[in-house]
């Protein structure tokens, strides 16, 4: 992962998460997130639409966009989300709190998305500032 992608994960507080609704239509929402460089972490209440969608169909598309400064940086991730519990959820919750999120330890659902590998087949205008990642199939723990 190059320095611009690391900067994107550190400096950008929100991601756009798109999930698949029961009827096949997309559902997008902005969420505060954290990252350890391998995974993106986010949380929400169990009744949220994207948590219900992830439980039924784990496929997601994530957009992270930082327009601050003179040059924008963008990251796009095609992956699968998974709900995590136990020590992994505790680690993610700590990271989220460090980023200013307010996860609910009693009621929240914590998820992660594997960032995956850069999709070299994807043509971009500026490969130093635009990143497409793909992680096919289930996440590896």
Q: Is the pLDDT of residue 85 over 90?
A: yes
For 112, counting Cβ atoms within 10 Å of its Cβ (0-12 exposed, 13-18 middle, 19+ buried), the class is: buried
Residue 73 · residue 66 · CB < 8 Å:
yes
Rg (CA), the chain: 15
Which CATH number is 3-134 given? 2.30.110.10
Higher pLDDT, residue 20 or 117: 20
pLDDT at 5: 84
pTM, rounded to two decimals = 0.88
8-50: pLDDT as tens digits: 898 899 999 999 999 999 999 999 999 999 999 999 988 999 9
- Per-residue pLDDT, 141: 37
DSSP string for 66-123: E--SSS-EEEEEEEEEEEE-HHHHHHHHHHHHHTT----TTT-EEEEEE--EE-TTS-
Q: Is 2 helix (H, G, I), strand (E, B) or coil?
A: coil
Residue 15 sits at the vertex; the CA angle it makes with 115 and 51, to the nearest 5 degrees, is 85
Q: Identify the residue whose tokens are 């169909």.
A: 57
pLDDT winner (highest mean) among 43-47, 65-69, 104-108, 133-137: 43-47
Look at residue 117 and tell me whether its pLDDT is greater than 70: yes
Average the pLDDT over 43-69 and give the result: 91
Banded model confidence at residue 130, pLDDT cuts 50, 70, 90: confident
């Amino acid at each position: 992962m190059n320095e611009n992608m690391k900067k994107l994960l550190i400096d950008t507080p929100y991601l756009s998460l798109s999930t698949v609704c029961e009827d096949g239509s997309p559902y997008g929402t902005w969420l505060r997130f954290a990252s350890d460089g391998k995974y993106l972490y986010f949380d929400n209440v169990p009744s949220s639409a994207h948590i219900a969608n992830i439980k039924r169909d784990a496929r997601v598309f994530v957009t992270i966009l930082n327009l601050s400064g003179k040059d924008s940086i963008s990251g796009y991730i095609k992956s699968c989300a998974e709900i995590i519990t136990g020590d992994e959820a505790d680690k993610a919750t700590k990271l989220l709190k460090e980023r200013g999120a307010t996860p609910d330890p009693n009621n929240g659902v914590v998820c992660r998305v594997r960032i995956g590998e850069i999709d070299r087949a994807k043509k971009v205008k500026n490969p130093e500032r635009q990143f497409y990642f793909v992680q096919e199939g289930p996440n590896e723990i």
